[in-house]
Amino acid sequence: MLASHMKCEVEILNSLGLHARPAAEFVKTARQFSSKIFIWRGHEVFSARSILDLLTADLGCGTKCILEADGPDAEEALGRLKALLLEFVKKER
């Protein structure tokens, strides 16, 4: 399988943002893929595989950021992580 490089913009819609519990689930999911996965907030880049990075990114409700994946399963990784962000909104209701 060829390596691919993909990016997509997402908005954090959970009213509490990507706080500790959903951030931990996000990191756990990102670690399931072999692609390198990053989150860009403005000009800063954070590893999607690091809970410390995600919490440092301060991804509050309404924050727009870029998910970037580079590797053989980049498309699958971004699709799953985007879906997970939407699941967090559904879980809070």
**Run of H or E including 67:** strand 64-71
Q: Is 5 labeled as catalytic in the residue annotation?
A: no
Residues 1/53, Cβ–Cβ less than 8 Å: no
Catalytic residue among 13, 19, 53, 84: 19
Residues annotated catalytic, as ranges: 19
